[in-house]
Amino acid sequence: MEILPLTGGLGAEIIGADIRRQTDFNEIQDAFAKYSVIVLREQNAEPADHLTFAQRFGPVNINRFFKPVEGHPEIAMVLKEKDQTAAVGEGWHTDHSYDQAPALGSILRALEMPPYGGDTLFVSMGMAYETLSTPMRKFLDGLTAVHSSRHVFGASAMDSEAAKSGRLGNAEAATQDVRHPVVITHPISGRRGLFVNPVFTTHIEDLSTAESDALLEMLYAHCLQPEFQCRVRWKAGDITMWDNRATWHKAINDYNGFRRLMHRVTIEGVPLT
Q: How far apart are CA 223 and CA 128, in angstroms?
A: 5
Cβ proximity to ligand SIN, 37 vs 140, nearer residue: 37
Q: Which residues inside 105-164 make contact with ligand SIN, applying CB under 6 A?
A: 106, 108, 120
- Shortest reach from residue 123's CB to ligand SIN, in Å: 13
Query: Angle formed by the axes of helices 25-35 and 47-57, to 10°?
Result: 70
The dihedral over CA atoms of 65, 70, 71, 73, expressed in degrees to the nearest 10, equals -10
Query: Is 203 tagged catalytic?
Result: no
Gap between the Cα atoms of 216 and 58, Å rounded: 32
**Which residue number, 167 or 192, has a Cβ lying nearer to ligand SIN?**
167
Nearest-CB residue for ligand SIN: 89
Residue from 212, 263, 264, 265 in contact with ligand SIN (CB under 6 A): 264
Q: Burial code of 126-139, b = ≥16 C-beta within 10 A, e = fewer?
A: bbbbeebeeeeeee
Residue 172 burial (C-beta neighbours within 10 Å; 0-12, 13-18, 19+): exposed
Establish if 197 lies at the interface with ligand SIN (CB under 6 A): no
159 is catalytic: no
Tell me whether residue 254 is one of the annotated catalytic residues: no
Residue numbers 31-90 binding ligand SIN by CB under 6 A = 78, 88-89
In whole angstroms, what separates CA 273 from the centre of its chain? Answer: 19
- Chain centroid to CA 206: 27
* 206 among known catalytic residues: no
Closer of 78 and 163 to ligand SIN (Cβ): 78
Using the rule CB under 6 A, is 251 a contact of ligand SIN?
A: yes
Q: Give yes or no for residue 212 binding ligand SIN (CB under 6 A).
A: no
Q: How many residues bind ligand SIN (CB under 6 A)?
A: 11
| Contact residues for 199 (Cβ-Cβ < 8 A; gap 6+) | 91, 92, 93, 152
Which residue is catalytic, options 96, 192, 245, 249? 249
Q: Which of 64, 93, 167, 180 is catalytic?
A: 93
* Residue closer to ligand SIN (CB basis): 77 or 178: 77
Distance of CA 197 to the CA centre of its chain: 11
Task: Count CB atoms within 10 A of the CB of residue 3.
Answer: 17
Catalytic residues: 93, 95, 249, 264
Q: Which residues bind ligand SIN (CB under 6 A)?
A: 78, 88-89, 95, 106, 108, 120, 249, 251, 262, 264
